[in-house]
Amino acid sequence: MISTILAQAAAGGGSGILGQVFLFGSIILIMYFFMIRPQQKKQKESKKFIEEIKKGDAVVTIGGLHGKVASVDGDTVILELDRGLKVTVEKSAISLDFSKKSTSSK
């Protein structure tokens, strides 16, 4: 009985199943190229930016504070917001997107 059902499915609907597999595979491929890959690329850029922060760089934190890097110590950065006003923040709190916009507009 099962062999007859399989034979009928192969004879009648084999191309339909192949089409569905192709459609499903193409959807996954599109999702990869439009969603997953750009996100991974952005994460790599952000990680590289945070690792390369050095004294004198103008940066913006994710909270919106604009300042210059006074010093870098491990995972923390001391930002000089104004003459004599310094704030210690984590490197992960520095925004790549806003820092690029801030430096390109000047």
pLDDT of residue 99: 76
CATH topology of domain 54-105: SH3 type barrels. (2.30.30)
Q: Give the number of other Cβ atoms within 10 Å of residue 66's Cβ.
A: 13
CA pair distance 40, 42, nearest whole angstrom: 5
Residue 9: is its pLDDT beyond 90? no
Distance CA 63, CA 31 (A): 31
β-strand partners of 69: 79
> E strands, 10-57, where?
none
Q: Is the pLDDT of residue 71 over 60?
A: yes
pLDDT at 79 over 70: yes
- What was the pLDDT predicted at 81? 94
Question: Alpha-carbon distance 56 to 68, whole Å?
Answer: 6
pLDDT value at 8 more than 50: yes
Is residue 7 pLDDT above 70, yes or no?
no
In this prediction, residues 34-51 reach a mean pLDDT of 92
Q: Does the pLDDT value for residue 6 go beyond 50?
A: no
- Which of 97, 99, 100 shows the shortest CA–CA distance to 79? 99
- pLDDT higher at 40 or 103: 40
**Mean pLDDT to the nearest integer, 28-57:** 92
